[in-house]
């Protein structure tokens, strides 16, 4: 079991890493397109806090789904009743990286706690 634990922990973190990579890519892609032909003052103003919408944002599940699989999105939406779709829509607003990151952090914490309890159990057995 211990041999595959590292692989399992990597696979748990992989969706968060992919989502973060996607968000960084979009951030640099958008800012590179806006930066072409700008002088240094305009480029530095691009990164200022008073320019909403051009800062770093995390992509939501809904954005990822509608952007990369729009046909599947429409097909899924049309296959559900309106009440079921209204129940699903709030979850599509969740940001992908924080959601996957929190899930991975919880799994890592549970593995660390299990490892800690196993060590305490071994020490307790050795003391007898």
- pLDDT tens over the chain, length 128 residues: 577 888 999 999 999 999 999 888 887 777 666 656 555 455 455 454 444 445 678 889 998 899 889 999 999 999 999 999 999 999 999 999 999 999 999 999 999 999 888 888 766 666 55
Backbone angles phi, psi at 69, to 5 degrees: -140, 65
Domain count, the chain: 1
57, 28 contact by CB (below 8 A): no
Query: How many other C-beta atoms can be found within 10 angstroms of the C-beta atom of residue 97?
Result: 19
* Structural domain includes residue 64: no
pLDDT of res. 58: 87
* Structural domain includes residue 111: yes
pLDDT of res. 25: 85
Q: Coil, strand, or helix at residue 94?
A: coil
* Structural domain includes residue 82: no
* Structural domain includes residue 23: yes
Q: State which residues form the domain around 27.
A: 2-59+95-127
* Structural domain includes residue 66: no
* Structural domain includes residue 84: no
pLDDT of res. 52: 46
- Count Cβ neighbours within 10 Å for each residue of 42-52 and write b for 16 or more, e otherwise: eeeeeeeeeee
pLDDT of res. 54: 55
Closest CA to 100 of 57, 63, 61, 66: 61
* Structural domain includes residue 42: yes
* Structural domain includes residue 83: no
Round to whole Å and give the CA distance between 44 and 58: 21
DSSP annotation of 95 reads B
pLDDT of res. 75: 95
pLDDT of res. 100: 96
């Amino acid at each position: 079991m211990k041999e595959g634990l590292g692989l399992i922990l990597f696979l748990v973190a992989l969706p968060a890493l992919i989502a973060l990579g996607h968000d960084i890519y979009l951030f640099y892609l958008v800012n590179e397109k806006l930066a072409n032909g700008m002088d240094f003052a305009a480029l530095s103003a691009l990164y200022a806090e008073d320019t909403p919408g051009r800062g770093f944002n995390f992509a939501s599940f809904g954005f990822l789904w509608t952007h990369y699989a729009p046909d599947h999105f429409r097909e899924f939406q049309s296959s559900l009743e309106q009440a079921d779709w209204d129940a699903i829509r709030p979850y599509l607003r969740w940001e992908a990286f924080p959601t996957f990151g929190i899930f991975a952090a919880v799994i890592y914490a549970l593995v660390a706690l299990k490892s800690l309890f196993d060590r305490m159990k071994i020490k307790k057995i050795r003391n007898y």
